[in-house]
Structure 1
Amino acid sequence: MNDAKKPRLILRYTAGQRINHWIIAITFVLLALSGLALFHPAFYWMSNLLGGGVWTRILHPFIGVLMFLCFVVFAARMFRHNLMSRRDWRWLAGFRDVLNKREENVPEAGRYNGGQKLLFFAMILLLLGLLLTGLVMWRSYFAFLFPIWAIRLASLLHALFAFLMICAIIVHIYAGIWVKGSVRAMTRGTVTPGWAWKHHRAWLRQLRGGAGSHK
């Protein structure tokens, strides 16, 4: 097929958005591994990733703040695209059809489908929980401001939020691999018209009609 007959690719994420996304991804991996090292002695060997136990305790919270700030920037840009609508709730009700690759039986998805939107807001809540509990636990800076029972409760909640966050990211990664062509959006920034028509038809109609921005 010559270049004239190739379908024109659609921009889904700008270079800045992709860089921000991969910073979030890298910092998440560092936080997950260093967090496990601090959580249980069986995982302590993972602290070598950041230079040992002392450096892991020092760097873990700073990396957490960096991830949170990067996510705030990303979420602020994408927030309006992730507001739930009646169509999204109907899409979620037909999720079994999506799993069985019968997407023609569910409402057309906009830039993001109902599942992606739920995951988006779940990550916002979990990251807020991780930040607040992390601040309570952050020795040398904030922990001395709180009674010991509050620090212990924050430690428990921090571990719970971290576990749920890891589960959410696993779902996110699995969905990205399962829906063929999705990884390309976060590596090259573009998708094919066929991919957009199959998975986000309402978004493609919007782009073709010029009714709103896809950025």
Structure 2
Amino acid sequence: MSKAYKRTKYVKRYCVPDQIMHWMVALGFILLLVTGFMIFFKGPASLLTTEAGMAFRQGHRIGAILFIGAPLIYFLFSSKRWGFLVAFKWGKYDFGWLKAAPKHYFIGGEGMPPQDKYNTGQKLYFLVVIVFGLLLAMSGFALWFDWFNGSLGVWMLVIHDVSAVIITIFFGIHLHLTVFHARERASFNAMTTGWMEAEYAEHHHKLWFDKVKYDQMITCGERKMRKMKQVDQNKNNTFQA
């Protein structure tokens, strides 16, 4: 490990409950997406008459439990349960971001307005997931338990499918920008490790970075030492037990 890498500074971005909730929702949605795709194109007849169809239905339900259960548990037990309301708080910097984003992401260049912990694109994605996720969940339960028949049942199916398509489109954009877009990979790394490079945080989330840089920033070497201490502490706790 080079000295320069050891001196790279990081800020704490996410706590473990945040990470668990995020990845459970992501896993649940991917499972819903894959099984939902198969259900949509195979049709209801095969779902009732073949083992594969039944397996897709069960997998879809498991995905639904993860997609709904993880944020519900987080909301009930996390001290940051109201954090999702950030999706509804928009200001002048958000509208400036919307104006500058196409050039920044697809052509290149700077000029993006300062952002808080979540940038405008993330807020927009949160908003879509909250609104259409609720529609997806409610219509999904209605279809699962056959709450409605006739035209109401058909409307539940339409709402379910349209909500799924809209979330899938935004999920694809989110996946591209966080995983495959070279300039934004630090955001994905932050969700996997809990830490974000300070340089990236200052550039992309300056309003938030200025609030936390004095009490939540450490170097890579210090991160490694913390991890080693945590491992030793866990071993000691195991021996004492």
TM-score by length of 2: 0.73
**Aligned partner of residue 185 in structure 1, secondary structure:** helix
Worse-matched range after superposition: 113-122 or 15-24: 15-24
Query: 1:175, 1:154 → 2: CA distance?
Result: 32
Query: 2:18, 2:195 → 1: CA distance?
Result: 12
Which residue of 1 is the match for residue 157 of structure 2?
Answer: 155
Which residue of 2 is the match for residue 213 of structure 1?
Answer: none
How many residues are paired up? Answer: 200
Measured against aligned partners, the alpha-carbon deviations of 1:115-173 in whole angstroms (never above 9, x if no partner) come to 110111111011111011112211xx3x1x42321111111221111111111111111
Q: Specify which of 90, 102, 106 is matched with residue 109 of structure 2.
A: 102
Mark the runs of 5 or more structure 1 residues left unpaired by the alignment.
Answer: 211-215
Which residue of 1 is the match for residue 201 of structure 2?
Answer: 196
Deviation at 1:62, TM superposition (A): 4.5
Distance 1:206 1:132, change over 3 A: same
The percent of aligned pairs where both chains have the same amino acid is 24
Query: 2:160, 2:197 → 1: CA distance?
Result: 40
Letter in 2 for 1:61: R
Cα RMSD, aligned residues only: 2.6
Query: 1:23, 1:65 → 2: CA distance?
Result: 10
Mark the runs of 5 or more structure 2 residues left unpaired by the alignment.
Answer: 216-241
TM-score by length of 1: 0.81
Which residue of 2 is the match for residue 78 of structure 1?
Answer: 83
Letter in 1 for 2:205: H
**Aligned partner of residue 53 in structure 1, secondary structure:** helix
Letter in 2 for 1:168: F
Query: 2:115, 2:141 → 1: CA distance?
Result: 38
Conserved 8 A contact 1:81-1:111: no
Matches within 5 A, 1:58-137: 58-72=58-72, 73=74, 76=81, 78-82=83-87, 83-99=89-105, 100-103=107-110, 105-137=111-143
Conserved 8 A contact 2:186-2:196: yes
